[in-house]
Structure 1
Amino acid sequence: MDYKDAGAIKKGSNKPRHSEHNAKGSRKNPFGKSEGKAELLARMKAAAKARQNAS
Structure 2
Amino acid sequence: MDYKAAGAPKKGSNAPRHKEHNAPGSQKNPFGKRPTKEELVARLKAKAQAPKKA
Gaps of 5+ in 2: none
Q: Aligned residue for 2:15?
A: 15
Gaps of 5+ in 1: none
Are 1:25 and 2:19 an aligned pair?
no
Q: Identity across aligned pairs (percent)?
A: 69
Q: How many residues align?
A: 54
Q: Say which structure is richer in helix.
A: 1
Give TM-score scaled by structure 1 length. Answer: 0.55
| Stretches (4+) displaced over 2 A | 34-37
Output the aligned Cα RMSD.
3.1
Q: Aligned residue for 2:34?
A: 34
